[in-house]
Amino acid sequence: MRHFLTIALSTFFFGTAFADLKEINSLCPHPSQGVKSNDPAKLNWTAETKQGKWKSYDSSFATKLTGFTGAQWTGENVGQITCIYTSEQEFKMQGHTVLQKTLPVLLVFHILAFQPSGGKWKHVSRGVYNCYSTKRSDCFFKINMKPPVGNILQEAESLKSTAKQPQLPTY
């Protein structure tokens, strides 16, 4: 009874039941999806995929993400995914364009992911899994996505227009 009450209250307060969530496979963004911030005070990277947004929290002198080198998951049952990229910096020196390798860029996913299994994920310590691969497809992970909610007003209007109007009795 207590378990049922917990689920009922969760459904009421959070507006969804666990069954409403759709589990899908996701991948780290392709390096070409990385976008450097135009704000010189931040110098961070972002990326956007169908599943959501990614962001680096460290400043980076990199001007280009050159490759994917792996991913890390941290948590207990659900946790945070961080994707790791090689990068380079392009600058001019004495009139010549110079390319220089820079520190890795870490993009963090804004949605919690399930503990990974399969692919090239390896358990390295309590609550930490690493995926060592240059192929993003080796480092897939599962997330829960709520189904998109439509416009409630449009749905209500469509229901009103299709509903039959009650006939008033005639005397």
pLDDT over 60 (residue 135): yes
Hey, is 137 helix, strand or coil?
helix
Asked whether 70 and 103 are in contact (CB, 8 A), the reply is no
pLDDT of res. 37: 93
> CA-CA distance, 88 to 136, in Å (whole number)?
19
pLDDT over 70 (residue 61): yes
> CA-CA distance, 60 to 26, in Å (whole number)?
25
Which tokens is 73 given?
């998951």
Hey, is 168 helix, strand or coil?
coil
Domain boundaries, the chain: 19-140
Point out the least confidently predicted range of 45-59, 93-107, 111-125, 149-163.
149-163
